[in-house]
Amino acid sequence: MAISTNKNALTSIGLKVGIAIEATAGTRPVTNYYPIPQVTDLPDLDFEPDTIETTSYDNLKYKSYLPGLKDTGGIISLPANYTEYGTDMWDDIVDKLLPENNSTGKIAWLLVSIEGTTKKWFVPINPVETGLPTAPVNDRVSVNYNFTVVKDIYTETIVDDSTYWASGDYTGV
């Protein structure tokens, strides 16, 4: 693995999160990621494994542990400013992945692209239908795009990710 020489801190300015459905079940999409509009926060997706204590009587100073299963915590929320386009796109993708509409077992993938780095993150997900937006007094209306992570997150170094992004608006893949 080549180690980057970029030692600059990054900001969230220009961060993009996109979503795509597998064309072939089990194969990560490399095109047609549609940007999710107005995302306001990227949730923590750095899952730590549980630890399983294995301390025995012959341990005299320290407890011993083995790594256990990773726990994603269940539903994860991707918060965003509410837009009809965004919720319509998300819910259409959810509908396409329902078992009665998806006999081949395809899943959706998120693509996270942060300005200033060539590393891209691909997150295999099972999206959940959006609910009622939140609307505090004198504030913005927001929505949570909820999902569960279904496989390991994949990272790849991609110098130019422009070919990954769909051209134009989502119209129902």
The verdict on residue 149 lying in a domain is yes
C-alpha dihedral sign at 44, 106, 119, 31: negative
Rounded Cα distance, 61 and 120, in Å: 42
* Burial class, 113, CB count within 10 angstroms (exposed 0-12 / middle 13-18 / buried 19+): buried
The verdict on residue 58 lying in a domain is no
The beta-strand segments (E) located in 16-130 are: 16-21, 34-35, 49-53, 65-70, 76-81, 108-113, 119-128
Give per-10-residue mean pLDDT for the chain (173 aa): 80 95 94 96 89 94 93 90 96 93 92 94 96 94 96 92 93 78
User: What is residue 33's predicted lDDT score, i.e. its pLDDT?
Assistant: 96
Rounded Cα distance, 18 and 38, in Å: 11
pTM attached to this predicted model: 0.88
The verdict on residue 6 lying in a domain is no
User: What is residue 145's predicted lDDT score, i.e. its pLDDT?
Assistant: 97
Rounded Cα distance, 63 and 133, in Å: 47
The verdict on residue 145 lying in a domain is yes
The verdict on residue 37 lying in a domain is yes
- 28: domain range? 16-45+73-164
The number of folded domains in the chain is: 1
Three-state DSSP class for residue 88: helix
Three-state DSSP class for residue 92: helix
Label the pairing between strands 119-128 and 154-157: antiparallel
The verdict on residue 59 lying in a domain is no
The verdict on residue 169 lying in a domain is no
What distance, in Å, lies between the first and last C-alpha atoms of the chain?
36
C-alpha dihedral sign at 97, 153, 110, 47: positive
The verdict on residue 80 lying in a domain is yes
